[in-house]
Amino acid sequence: MLFDRPATTNPIDQMKVVGQHITRIDGPKKVTGTATYAYEWNHANLNVAYGYPVGAGIAKGRISSMDIQAARNAPGVLAVVTAETAGKLSKGKMNAAKLLGGPEISHYHQAIAVVVAETFEQARAAASLIKVDYVRAPGSYDLEAAKDTAKKPEGSEGEDADTSAGNFDKAFAEAAVKFDQTYTTPDQSHAMMEPHSSLAMWDGDEVTVWTSNQMIAWNKSEMAITLGIDPEKVHIMSPFVGGGFGSKLFLRSDAVLAALGAKAAGRPVKLALPRPFVMNNTTHRPATIQRIRIGTTQEGKITAIAHESWNGNLPGGSLETAVAQTRLLYAGENRMTSMRLAALDLPEGNAMRAPGEAPGLMALEIAMDELAEQLNLDPVELRIINDTQVDPEKPERKFSHRQLVECLRRGAETFGWDKRNAETGRVKDGRWMVGMGVAAAFRNNMNMKSGARVRLDSEGVVTVETDMTDIGTGSYTIIAQTAAEMMGVTIDKVAVELGDSRFPASSGSGGQWGGNSSTAGVYAACVALRDAISQKVGFNSADVTFADGQIRSGNRSIALAEAAGKDGVVAEDTIEYGDLAEEMQQSTFGAHFVEVGVDMYTAEIRVRRMLSVCAAGRILNPITARSQVIGAMTMGVGGAFMEELAVDKRRGFFVNHDLAGYEVPVHADIPHQDVIFLDETDPTTSPMKAKGVGELGLCGVAAALSNAVHNATGVRIRDYPVTLDKLL
């Protein structure tokens, strides 16, 4: 099905099941421990062996010698695989560095060997016996120092690195009010609960990998490229994922090492990356330096706005698109954005939840707060008077829906923003200095091609099969809701099977596109199934309805179980998108309101209240959508106050490579949270009329918190995270 014009009325609009508060259909499996995660697959007859990785002990250089003899001879060891013994391995298109390195080393903890043994403990013990000598090469590990060497990337990424409209320099020079500040955001780790894990098993020249991955079709083709085999010989299974946040978009070393280990040992091999490898072997959100200049009239109307961003990456790594929101969020005739990339030899920087907008808004939304203070304007009002309903760089393009102002107004009213004292350091509650902060939320909406297969059986059960993943987001549930609505059955009559590469390729889970895109693919398949059933029972598909477990036409009706017959009916389709999204700017909006307390003696920072108001198209399930937003708000608390990968600038690695040193919020850090979704259906996004919401909730949170700290204390911190030492 091609979706290339605004969606008209369709069965989804009934909203009997879609849009309803339905708890996760996979919830019982999760709370009873019967949802099988990658490392837990273990059929009794599999005879699984265990793999343990060895990571490079230097950041850059080459291996001069590697002694694996002691490891090979260690108890229980079945195989030791290195780049030398693995046979020809290629680098996939989506990784900056090889997933099994050597002799050249591209980054610290790049995998250089895998040891396979009968038990995990034997594999780990043997891995420690491998002796490696290196020749170090000088590397570059300091973004600040490398900033002036940063360049525009080559190819299409470089073409998108700069934008401009009007004449920024002139307008800024002439502006009545000028603002110019620089902010930094640190390297951050996805730090999801479940580390990257895989179980690989060969059957002749075919490999099956049970893994933890967000994008099954990408994973399959990247595995085929890496191993140099036909994609049809690769089978990926990832029905449950214990968190991804972007770290599992791409094939990682766990899957490759498990496959190589399994081949060498002639046994299925299970391998989970030890926690330190999550920080240094996989990807992270790269640090940024961001300069923001804004010129306004005396009344606070933006006349000039510029946002420049710098980040570092390995050769072949990409930009962090931290200026993305600034191109679209506020009006202003004269504008420029620019991104530059410096070569660094740290592990690869790549997508982490809301790549671009998350770190971009961390800077821009402090800048707006500072500007409001400079103008003596309320920060909510400053944002409202600079709203735009068109793409400010290309005014002929309208937003399909844009309710930023409504989000701000509704949030201010609900939160009690009128009680905020604009003068800093004035509000006290016992030993706490109390402050409020606000920030806009913005994240673009992307649509991705997505396919599904649906089957109606003789029990009247509808089974959906798609390679879509559920990374904790609720995919199982919203897909079941979609099929139930389309086929006129209750949700208990729908079975959903996900994360298997033998199923039709879906959008996968990334870039907050999964919810809208994957359900739109299921919609398309259900349209095909409705046609097939109508045809089978001899009804005209143009005037049938599906309701109460029946297919109806005029005054005739047939139960679906009966219509299915003993062989059932199957249909498959894929939704593809035309250029509608190019004509219209599709974005999601929100507003965050927060209150913090800062201990006046110790500078300890505590969040007291949080509210997010979101406008993100039709909300397919208010429970799972709310969970996404409160999870994102929680992640924003980490971004504001805790998260930072500490770079060893001499040796080139992230020092705090575990969950003791890399701090993320826990329950005790999170107070009252509330989420409001504004009523919105966007017929330009898909037949579902939904948009992404999973990343929107993170965008802007950290800035709102930082602004609240400033309101509480009068101290402005421009380098994240905002920690107590910076307040003293």
Q: Residue 245 or residue 589: which is nearer to ligand MOS going by CB? A: 245
Give the dihedral sign, CA 117/120/125/127: positive
Q: Residue 322 or residue 352: which is nearer to ligand MOS going by CB? A: 352
Q: Has 154 been annotated as catalytic?
A: no
18: which 2 tokens? 């879609």
Task: Compute CA 715 distance to the chain's CA centroid, rounded to the nearest angstrom.
Answer: 32
Q: Residue 127 or residue 352: which is nearer to ligand MOS going by CB? A: 352
Residues 43-102 interacting with ligand MOS (rule: CB under 6 A):
none
Q: Residue 80 or residue 352: which is nearer to ligand MOS going by CB? A: 352
Using CB under 6 A, pick the residue from 355, 360, 392, 435 that binds ligand MOS.
355
Whether omega before 103 lies within 30 degrees of 0, making that bond cis, reads yes
Q: Is 474 in the site for ligand MOS (CB under 6 A)?
A: no
Binding flags for ligand MOS, 171-210, as an x/- string (CB under 6 A):
----------------------------------------
Q: Residue 323 or residue 436: which is nearer to ligand MOS going by CB? A: 323
Give the active site residue among 194, 357, 572, 695: 695
**Least spacing, CB of residue 510 vs ligand MOS, in Å:** 3
**Least spacing, CB of residue 699 vs ligand MOS, in Å:** 12
CA dihedral 512, 513, 515, 520 (to 10 degrees): 170
Using CB under 6 A, pick the residue from 17, 56, 351, 368 that binds ligand MOS.
351
- Taking contact as CB under 6 A, which single stretch among the options 231-239, 324-332, 347-355, 433-441 is the one that binds ligand MOS? 347-355
User: Is residue 213 a contact partner of residue 238, using CB atoms and an 8 Å limit?
Assistant: yes
**Residues forming beta bridges with residue 165, ordered by sequence position:** 335
Q: Is 284 in the site for ligand MOS (CB under 6 A)?
A: no
Burial of 10: CB neighbours in 10 Å, binned 0-12, 13-18, 19+: middle
- Taking contact as CB under 6 A, which single stretch among the options 51-59, 204-212, 346-354, 649-657 is the one that binds ligand MOS? 346-354
Strand bridging mode 605-615 / 587-599? antiparallel
Closest CA relative to residue 318, chosen from 280, 286, 282, 345: 286
Q: Name the E strands within 238-333.
A: 269-272, 288-296, 302-313
**Least spacing, CB of residue 353 vs ligand MOS, in Å:** 5
Using CB under 6 A, pick the residue from 197, 214, 280, 624 that binds ligand MOS.
214
Q: Residue 214 or residue 588: which is nearer to ligand MOS going by CB? A: 214
The single-letter code of the amino acid at 88 is K
623: which 2 tokens? 């429970």
**Least spacing, CB of residue 350 vs ligand MOS, in Å:** 8
Start-to-end CA distance of the chain, whole Å, equals 60
**Least spacing, CB of residue 351 vs ligand MOS, in Å:** 4
Binding flags for ligand MOS, 475-514, as an x/- string (CB under 6 A):
-----------------------------------xx---
Burial of 679: CB neighbours in 10 Å, binned 0-12, 13-18, 19+: exposed
Q: Residue 353 or residue 592: which is nearer to ligand MOS going by CB? A: 353
Q: Is 295 in the site for ligand MOS (CB under 6 A)?
A: no
Q: Is 318 in the site for ligand MOS (CB under 6 A)?
A: no
Q: Is 249 in the site for ligand MOS (CB under 6 A)?
A: yes
**Least spacing, CB of residue 284 vs ligand MOS, in Å:** 11
Using CB under 6 A, pick the residue from 60, 263, 293, 353 that binds ligand MOS.
353
Q: Is 252 in the site for ligand MOS (CB under 6 A)?
A: no
CA dihedral 526, 527, 531, 536 (to 10 degrees): 0
User: Is residue 171 a contact partner of residue 295, using CB atoms and an 8 Å limit?
Assistant: yes
Strand bridging mode 550-553 / 545-547? antiparallel
Longest dimension (CA), the chain: 82
**Least spacing, CB of residue 247 vs ligand MOS, in Å:** 8
* Residue nearest to ligand MOS as judged by C-beta position: 246
Q: Report d(CA 468, CA 519) in Å as an integer.
A: 10
Q: Is 516 in the site for ligand MOS (CB under 6 A)?
A: no
161: which 2 tokens? 């690195």
User: Is residue 188 a contact partner of residue 644, using CB atoms and an 8 Å limit?
Assistant: yes
**Least spacing, CB of residue 244 vs ligand MOS, in Å:** 6
User: Is residue 90 a contact partner of residue 225, using CB atoms and an 8 Å limit?
Assistant: yes
**Least spacing, CB of residue 641 vs ligand MOS, in Å:** 21
**Least spacing, CB of residue 513 vs ligand MOS, in Å:** 8
Using CB under 6 A, pick the residue from 83, 352, 464, 484 that binds ligand MOS.
352
- Taking contact as CB under 6 A, which single stretch among the options 168-176, 225-233, 309-317, 348-356 is the one that binds ligand MOS? 348-356
Q: Residue 245 or residue 593: which is nearer to ligand MOS going by CB? A: 245
Q: Write out the DSSP string of 384-451.
A: HHT--SB-TTSTTSBBS---HHHHHHHHHHHHTGGG--SSTT--EETTEEEEEEEEEEEEE-----EE
471: which 2 tokens? 């990374």
Three-class SS of 468-527: CCCCCCCHHHHHHHHHHHHHCCCHHHEEEECCECCCCCCCCCCCCCHHHHHHHHHHHHHH
**Least spacing, CB of residue 646 vs ligand MOS, in Å:** 22
**Least spacing, CB of residue 695 vs ligand MOS, in Å:** 7
Binding flags for ligand MOS, 589-628, as an x/- string (CB under 6 A):
----------------------------------------
Closest CA relative to residue 387, chosen from 587, 169, 582: 587
CA distance to 231, 378, 447, per residue, from 444 (Å): 32, 26, 10
User: Is residue 371 a contact partner of residue 334, using CB atoms and an 8 Å limit?
Assistant: no
Q: Report d(CA 678, CA 661) in Å as an integer.
A: 38
Residues 217-246 interacting with ligand MOS (rule: CB under 6 A):
244-246
Helix (H, G, I), strand (E, B) or coil at 170: helix
Question: Where along the sequence are the contacts to ligand MOS (CB under 6 A)?
Answer: 214, 244-246, 249, 351-353, 355, 510-511
Looking at the annotation, which residues are catalytic?
Answer: 695
